[in-house]
Structure 1
Amino acid sequence: MTTILTRASFRLQFFLGFLACAGLLAYAIYLQLHDGLEPCNLCIFQRVAFAALGLVFLLGALHGPKRPGGRRAYGAVALIASLAGISVAGRHVWVQMQPPGMTSCGAPLSFMRETMGTWDVVRKVMTATGNCGDVDWTFLGLSMPAWSLVWFVLLAIWAGYAAFRRR
């Protein structure tokens, strides 16, 4: 017996991936604007990764390639975006697991962009030198970066399943 998800088209599966990314970004923005949770630099990079992944999902859903090679190409790009998000979220979780005061994120991202080159900004943010170690929000015992990590892994699996399964 087949389920709806196994019978769902590539377009529908990628559109659902897009909706998940859009929902996660919308919730992060809601928490920022409504509850006053200011994102750190690693949070910003996680949002960029969710936006990139969502864009890949949306483009794949709109295009809806018929050939397996086209679906696999979208799947590969989605997996790359997911892996970027996994690496940033994983780093953020690691930073939060360190003793208080041992790590931070550094200067605001806008200041770093004005004073450094792109790769220097990326390197600086990934070394976690500001408030990335603070845990301001939890759900079921997991911090927001931990939930981001969970979602990046789930969306990577979803993209891989949608793109590489036999039809």
Structure 2
Amino acid sequence: MSPTPLRFLYLAGFFICAALLGTAYYFEIVEFMEPCPLCMAQRFFVLMVGIFCLLAFLFDNFRIPSRLSLGLGSAFAIGGAFVADHHVYIQNLPPEDVPACGPSFEYLMDTLPLDALLNIMLEGNGNCADISWMYMDMSMPQWMRLIFIVFAVVGVISLIISWRRGNRLQAA
């Protein structure tokens, strides 16, 4: 089976994820914007989408690994969209309904077991309600929600194309 025309789209997805993570670390290290638990969860989803984009690129010649990579990458993109959507929800709550601010992420990592840490990360807290950056009237979580949705849609379409292409090759 020869590589698909979408192969380099998968590589572009990997580089986009790398750029998103680089941008997140720029804001953290250079601009001193401390990430909240939901921001950290979104970084994890970006990392996973990027890894599966790279795997889809590398295994494009192999039907099952490429489809598995596309499916899992799409699933992580959908999960990231849900986390970003929850983050946007918290940012739009009235001040009296915002959850209380919690301890720092580093403290949580040092003191909590993994399941409790994941639960707190996905729930968010008062730190998640702060909007410290906007571009074109959209906050970072709003942009990430949009980016995750695009990744999910492109991943599902690529999976469908891969499936149809594989079925045509079997019929020939």
Q: State the TM-score bracket (shorter-chain normalisation).
A: 0.7 to 0.9
Shift, 1:110, TM fit: 1.9
- Residue of structure 2 aligned with 1:77, choices 54, 72, 76: 72
Paired residue total:
160
Structure 2, gaps ≥5 residues long: 166-172
Shift, 1:107, TM fit: 1.4
Q: Does the CA contact (< 8 Å) of 1:79 and 1:160 recur in 2?
A: yes
Q: TM-score of the superposition, structure 2-length normalised?
A: 0.84
Shift, 1:129, TM fit: 2.4
| Residues in 1 aligned to 2:124 and 2:62: alpha-carbon distance in whole angstroms | 43
1:85-124 equivalent positions in 2, closer than 5 A: 85-100=80-95, 102-124=98-120
| Residues in 1 aligned to 2:101 and 2:69: alpha-carbon distance in whole angstroms | 33
Further displaced range: 95-104 or 53-62: 95-104
C-alpha distance after superposition, 1:8-52 (max 9, x if no partner): 623212111111111111112122222222211110110111011
Q: Does the CA contact (< 8 Å) of 2:41 and 2:122 recur in 1?
A: no
Q: Which amino acid aligns with 1:53?
A: V
Shift, 1:104, TM fit: 4.6
Structure 1 pair 154–112 and aligned structure 2 pair: CA distance change class (3 A): same
Task: State percent identity of aligned pairs.
Answer: 29
What residue number does 1:126 align with? Answer: 122
Secondary structure class of the residue paired with 1:71: helix
- Residue of structure 1 aligned with 2:33, choices 37, 43, 59: 37
Q: Which runs of 4+ in 1 moved over 4 A?
A: none
Structure exhibiting the larger radius of gyration computed from Cα positions: 2
Q: What's the RMSD between the two structures over aligned residues?
A: 1.9
Shift, 1:71, TM fit: 3.1
Asked if 1:164 is matched to 2:138, the reply is no
| Residues in 2 aligned to 1:104 and 1:96: alpha-carbon distance in whole angstroms | 13
| Residues in 2 aligned to 1:133 and 1:77: alpha-carbon distance in whole angstroms | 30
Shift, 1:84, TM fit: 1.7
Structure 1 pair 105–20 and aligned structure 2 pair: CA distance change class (3 A): farther
Q: Does the CA contact (< 8 Å) of 2:85 and 2:142 recur in 1?
A: yes
Structure 1, gaps ≥5 residues long: 1-7
